[in-house]
A and B are shown apart, each in its own frame.
Chain A
């Protein structure tokens, strides 16, 4: 059942990603990215990360994509020629990189290293018992408090930067 669900989600994710790159109209590309984000959230649920799945839907699909749609519709881009002249080098690079990754994976290093000793202590049962949000919150606000503060500063800087950049001069 889990495997079936995984293959459905994976197929839709790959198909929607291809559509993002291949479609001519930017609005359709953005909508298919929305489909892709929703299915990635499903993948997170499958991996026992409910909080991250919710954040994925709220932040990515809710905020970031709406921003993209606003800009695409605001600028009202006419249809244009899709690809630039780098198509052949890009395809070569992509195929080489993908085959390299797959080769390394089937060399059996990734799974083998982890099968020896998972041991963070956060098993799926423990996360389900304590609640995904509570567990992440405890780690985020104790061990990773300093990066959390830096992230809030980063968001402030991005907000000020966006206002300054898009102001009429």
Chain B
């Protein structure tokens, strides 16, 4: 039996990799992919805790997290396509329209 803390540490590592990806990459599609990494890290935590606490609620929450992730991806990629059509770039350093 693998201890619970191994799962939590794995999830922390994946979350931090996703966080670093959001901070350092320039391509907006890769930033969205890194957000997916962070959501999956949270899901690993949910399922691991629900297994070790002998409850099912964590798995139900993973279901909702997946729904929200799907909605986020749909709207995010639509925004990316609309941006690319207007500005012909995916580099976040050039997308400074809302910068004050």
Q: Which residues on A are within 8 Å of B, measured CB to CB?
A: 2-3, 6, 10, 13-14, 17-18, 20-21, 26, 29-30, 33, 36-37, 40, 43-44, 46-49, 51-52, 55-56, 59-60, 63-64, 67-68, 71-72, 74-75, 77, 80-84, 86-87, 89-91, 93-94, 97-98, 101-102, 105-106, 110-111, 114, 118-124, 127, 135-136, 139-140, 144, 147, 151, 154-155, 157-159, 161-163, 165-166, 168
Known contacts A49-B47, A94-B16, A120-B57; A166 and B81 CB within 8 A of each other: yes
Instruction: Beyond the given A106-B5, A120-B50, please list 17 additional residue pairs across the A-B interface where CB-CB is below 8 A.
Output: A2-B2, A6-B6, A14-B10, A14-B14, A48-B51, A49-B51, A52-B47, A52-B59, A71-B29, A81-B26, A83-B25, A90-B19, A94-B17, A94-B19, A105-B9, A147-B64, A151-B67
Name 27 A/B residue pairs within 8 A (Cβ), A-sorted. Answer: A2-B1, A20-B17, A20-B33, A30-B33, A33-B33, A49-B62, A52-B62, A60-B40, A60-B69, A67-B73, A86-B24, A90-B23, A98-B12, A102-B12, A105-B5, A105-B12, A114-B49, A118-B53, A120-B54, A136-B59, A139-B56, A140-B63, A154-B68, A155-B70, A158-B75, A162-B78, A166-B81
- When the two chains form their complex, are residues B10 and A84 in contact, meaning their CB atoms are under 8 A apart? no
B-side interface residues toward A, CB under 8 Å? 1-10, 12-14, 16-21, 23-27, 29-30, 32-34, 36-37, 40, 43-44, 47-57, 59-60, 62-64, 66-75, 77-82, 84-85, 90-93
Contact of A10 among B5, B6, B16, B18 (CB under 8 A): B6
- State how many angstroms separate the Cβ of B13 from the closest Cβ of chain A: 6
Q: How far is the CA of A126 from the CA of B63 in the complex (A)?
A: 20
Residues of chain A with a CB closer than 8 A to B84's CB: 75
Q: Are B30 and A14 in contact (CB under 8 A)?
A: no
CA distance A52 to B60 in the complex (A): 9
